[in-house]
Amino acid sequence: MSESPTVVDVTATGLTSTPVQQAVELARRHGPLYVRRYHGRDVAFASSLGLVEELSDETRFAKGVGPALQNVRGIAGDGLFTAYDDEPNWAKAHDILLPAFAMNSMRTYHPHMLRVARRLIASWDGRFTPGAAESAPVGVSEDMTRMTLDTIGLSGFGYDFESFGRTDPHPFVEALVRALGHSQAKLARVPGGDYAAEDGQFAADALFLARIVDEVIDARKAAGDTSTDDLLGLMLNSPHPGSGEALDEANIRNQVITFLIAGHETTSGTLAFALYYLLKNPAALHRAQSEVDTLWGDTPDPEPSYEDVGRLRYVRQVLNEALRLWPTAPAFQRRARFDTTIGGHYPLGAGESVVVLTPMLHRDPVWGDNVEEFDPERFAPEAEAARSPHAYKPFGTGERACIGRQFALHEATMLLGMLVHRYRFIDHAGYDLSVKETLTLKPDGFTMTLAARTPEDRERSRSALRELTSLTGSAGPVNGAGAAADRGRDGLPARVLPGTALALLHGSNFGTCRAYAEQLGEQAAELGFDVRVSPLDEAVGTLAADTPVAIVAASYNGQPTDDAHQFVDWLTQAGPDAARAVPYTVLGVGDRNWAATYQRVPTLIDEGLAASGASRLMERVEADASGDLAGSVRRFASALRDTLLERYGDPRSVGAGDTAPPPRAYDVVEVTGGPLDALAARHGTVAMTVAESADLVDPAHPLARPKRFLRVALPDGVTYRTADHLSVLPVNAPESVERAAAVLGVDLEAVLNIRAHKPGRATLPLDRPVIARELLSRYVELHDAPTAEQVALLAGHNPCPPERITLEQLAADQQALAERPGCLLDLVEDHPALRGQLPWPALLELLPPVRPRHYSISSSPAASPRHADLMVSLLSAPDRSGRGTFRGTGSSYLHRVRPGDTLHARVQPCRDSFRLPCDGRAPVIMVGAGTGLAPFRGAIADRLERLRGGGELAPALCYFGCDHPDVDYLHRAELEDAERAGAVSMRPTYSKAPEGDLRFVQHRIAAEAEEVWRLLEAGAAVHVCGDGSRMAPGVREAFQSVRTKFAGGDAAEAEAWWRDLVTEGRYVEDVYASS
């Protein structure tokens, strides 16, 4: 029997300027489920825990984009939080951006967050007049907005809004706040009203926001920056991991605006509410002060580390409680996937929606009888564990919950801790809370004054904490972990019995759990274990009673990670003896803020192994990414070490670890943090050693075009898959650096110290001495064509009027600039009055930051797991400017390096679609020319290894373009051996010694059309690698001609057929231009 909820018609009274607070008041009167009617438009509101538990069921409900978010689409389009579920850009952007919020990425944002936090503190310090004990009032909500906007701008997009250098808010913020206010105000409109002026302002604001964001995007593109270490870099340079599709420019703009809204409006409100409640609750403030003072001591200017933020547990509880009382994103909508009923009696048709009123959910009776009081102890770990995970929803729910919640909480926890440590807060005006609504919530008109805390203040807070600890027996809020590291070691063996195996298994999407498993493996190897580290999926059905197993696993939206699906499926179906007597333990990594799915998969693995007969080495340990993650892992490692040594230790080694080391003559500390650190961090590179370097062709042959073979040793922890790329940071040639110095009129031996006043050059060696030669060699591009902005800057520095006019005219004529040959240095050389007129700050604005070059790895990890091979053609051609010979920066660098040299590089995964089938069952046709052979050499080695292992292979053809059989049939002996073994059929062509008319690969493909068509009909996939301007188009035409020959039809049908192959992933290109 169905029962309708109360319908409350507010048409007569209207919607107020604070519609969320109005909805809360209606819920207090009419209960946890009611319908608000306004001019015939009905909206259902739900707020009880029972109802929200139902609405959070992803099998029954999805995100609904209600009227408010539909209005926001006018500025944010199909961004992550305004997109409809069925819009393809949501899933595409979500999957591309997920790595931006992995733990490793969060570490890269931490310095930006700290930098902006210091700006806020400097601004607040500036509110003190000399000699005054108390500051002038600070506008809390306004300053929190400045801080969070600058943080998301710098961390996410490399753009500095410089909000603390402005008296008024940045125009972007003003336009954004107006647009959000307009989106909310539209909800209260009366039918037939005249809103043309308001809509016109909204349209103007939308255009302004889009223009600012487009400028940020264009600046990144113009810089040639192809890194993927922030949100904008991922969107511009990372294809979708499954489809290989990139985000279109309009969607990138929408995502940037989305993150600028979500990344600063909600976080700033959270901080302002938290400061308000600390101001009004001295006991909570003192507890927070005790925590930060214990962690950071007496210095008023601590240097919070990334790990420190996780140790601020009580500060995080303060933020959580502020979000409970006033969730700054105060509602979310749930849409029924099919006809259903909630609350046992309220029917919902498919597509109908209900709004979850989060402030009232957070006042459900499950929170106790004092729900209006501020009490951070509600978020003590034991209290959270006892409460339904659906009782707390400040970030939404399910797969459409806020993707950036960890970013926001890390930023807010760090800043709140720093403010609590530095200042006493004074309620100078007796402020009473008034909540302002512009879709998000924040305190309105909230000001306070400040006083500097003294060492005596901090000692009193620590003393209070010590007294509390002595009374309660508690270890206190921070730093109780260290002592456990060495506990229980006395009397243990120092190493295990020879030949003892240990399996470290990981379930990891973004590398965190894998990194911890590898770290544990290194520690175990030092104890003498024979260690194997591998994904969980590789352990299906292989667990053995004589090999202890340590598992490090996480969940992804409550599901197993990509490398653990098969293991979890196996475990859920395994019988009671499937893992009999296997000794195991589990370290579960998760984020307690995702309460509904926290530790779900680690728990499932732990309980599943126990049910399958395995024996726990020790109890499962939970590591919380929003807490002291590193400390939890450290304690797990310590306990695991003791447990393993107790069970598997060599009794002969007892006491061996207690021998005192011999006295040392010296203590040597290696200084860390070299000048290349920023460059490496920006591009994710690590130092690698060149193991081999040799010519691939005879340089003395008249037909030879230089090609080089490199073998690079991979550092521990760096792996690759066949067809991946190695992204290498090049070094400019010495002759290029000498020429640049001569043209620019600079001293290469000058020692510089660079300080940045705006973002965008994070790759430069800042705040440390650097020699000009090193700067021009490693950090900037010297051969890029000039942009209009660069030419205009040159004009501004040119003291010669005729030259200045010429440059100004060139800057204004895009076509002339595009057609002008040569690079920026050529342009400077053509205007000699510029020599010596460009100071270093101007030069650093002019010269783009160095960017990585990408090369296909030509080896197979099956045959060469610890080395990556490259084959590199030297790009060498007459310079278009007429000045001698142009040589590519990256290729000439790799032709110069020799064995023992260090290069900075990272493994860049190729598109999954370009990887050749590894099962050997599907035919494959490989097409490459010159060094385009690289990924196919690795694939052929994979096939050879499969044959040696007794596997079967489908046919594989490799069309390979060379100049001459005696000159550049690269790796000929190796490939012919593989051909004789049956791994491949090589089909070379020789442009300088053709067999008949077969000069290029496309000619031979057309000549062998019957065989090619037979393989295509059998499902063959075509993989093409090489020059994208000449070779690849010719190969496409060849395959289309094969289709026309055997299937008929015209050119349009052949092209449509080819496009279908591309769509199906059966025709994949990895093409490039050399550099």
Residue 226 identity (one-letter amino acid)? T
pLDDT of residue 38: 93
pLDDT of residue 229: 76
The token pair that represents 104 in the structure block: 């490793």
Whether 484-655 and 912-1072 share one fold: the answer is yes
Residues 6+ apart with CB under 8 A from 184: 19, 68, 71, 437, 438, 439
DSSP 8-class letter at 448: E
Secondary structure tally for the chain: helices H, strands E: 37, 35
Three-class SS of residue 732?
A: coil
The token pair that represents 122 in the structure block: 């400097």
- Find the angle CA(98)-CA(104)-CA(106) to the nearest 5 degrees: 75
Helices 313-325, 405-422: crossing angle, 10 deg rounding: 110
pLDDT of residue 272: 98
Provide the CATH topology of domain 484-655. Answer: Rossmann fold (3.40.50)
The token pair that represents 778 in the structure block: 């490693």
Instruction: State the DSSP H helix or E strand holding residue 441, giving kind and residue range, or none if neither.
Output: strand 440-443
pTM of the model: 0.56
Residues 6+ apart with CB under 8 A from 652: 493
Handedness of CA 1002, 1008, 1009, 1014 (dihedral sign): negative
Three-class SS of residue 304?
A: coil
DSSP 8-class letter at 576: T
pLDDT of residue 75: 95
Three-class SS of residue 728?
A: strand
pLDDT of residue 485: 35
The token pair that represents 1047 in the structure block: 């299937």
Pairwise CA distance, residues 657 & 671, whole Å: 28
Q: Where are the alpha helices (DSSP H) in 281-404?
A: 282-296, 306-311, 313-325, 358-361, 381-385
Do 743 and 905 meet the contact criterion of CB atoms below 8 Å apart? no
Pairwise CA distance, residues 712 & 897, whole Å: 11
Q: Largest Cα–Cα distance in the chain?
A: 95
Pairwise CA distance, residues 264 & 736, whole Å: 44
- Find the angle CA(325)-CA(557)-CA(50) to the nearest 5 degrees: 45
Residue 941, Cα to own-chain centre: how many angstroms? 33
Residue positions annotated with a catalytic role: 266, 395, 402
DSSP 465-524: HHHHHHHH----SS--SGGGGGTT-TT--SSBPTT-EEEEEEE-SSSHHHHHHHHHHHHH
The token pair that represents 942 in the structure block: 């994979």
pLDDT lower than 50: segments of the chain: 1-2, 468-488, 658-666, 669-672, 759-760, 1074-1075
Pairwise CA distance, residues 152 & 158, whole Å: 9
Pairwise CA distance, residues 665 & 655, whole Å: 26
Query: Counting beta carbons within 10 angstroms of the beta carbon of residue 630, is it exposed (0 to 12), middle (13 to 18) or buried (19 or more)?
Result: middle
Q: Beta strand pairing status for 902-908 and 686-695?
A: antiparallel
The token pair that represents 951 in the structure block: 């596997």
For residue 943, what are the CA distances in angstroms to 783, 859, 938, 978?
Answer: 41, 12, 9, 9
Residue 409 identity (one-letter amino acid)? L
Overall size of the chain counted in residues: 1075
Pairwise CA distance, residues 1034 & 929, whole Å: 12
Query: Counting beta carbons within 10 angstroms of the beta carbon of residue 369, is it exposed (0 to 12), middle (13 to 18) or buried (19 or more)?
Result: exposed
Pairwise CA distance, residues 123 & 656, whole Å: 57
Beta bridge partners of 442: 436
Q: Where are the alpha helices (DSSP H) in 312-451?
A: 313-325, 358-361, 381-385, 405-422
Do 1001 and 960 meet the contact criterion of CB atoms below 8 Å apart? yes
**Among the listed residues 307, 339, 237, 268, the one whose alpha carbon sits nearest the alpha carbon of residue 2:** 339
- Find the angle CA(926)-CA(928)-CA(929) to the nearest 5 degrees: 160
Beta bridge partners of 533: 504
pLDDT of residue 478: 33
One CATH from 3.30.565.10, 3.30.450.20, 1.20.1440.130, 3.40.50.80 for 912-1072: 3.40.50.80
Class in CATH terms, 734-846: mainly alpha
Q: Where are the alpha helices (DSSP H) in 126-195?
A: 140-157, 171-185
Q: Consult the annotation and say whether 910 binds a ligand.
A: no
User: pLDDT by residue (tens digit) across 823-870?
Assistant: 899 999 899 899 888 999 899 888 988 888 989 999 999 889 999 999
pLDDT of residue 221: 84
Three-class SS of residue 13?
A: coil
Residues 6+ apart with CB under 8 A from 735: none
For residue 1005, what are the CA distances in angstroms to 174, 311, 922, 1037?
Answer: 61, 63, 19, 10
> Computed over its alpha carbons, how large is the radius of gyration of the chain?
32
Helices 265-280, 405-422: crossing angle, 10 deg rounding: 40
User: pLDDT by residue (tens digit) across 220-271?
Assistant: 888 777 777 788 988 998 888 778 888 999 999 999 999 988 878 899 999 9
Q: Where are the alpha helices (DSSP H) in 996-1030?
A: 1001-1007, 1009-1017
- Residue labelled with tokens 């060379």: 962
pLDDT of residue 762: 57
The token pair that represents 47 in the structure block: 């707020």
For residue 887, what are the CA distances in angstroms to 731, 740, 891, 1025?
Answer: 13, 15, 8, 22
DSSP 8-class letter at 965: T
Q: Write down the domain spans for the chain.
A: 484-655, 734-846, 912-1072
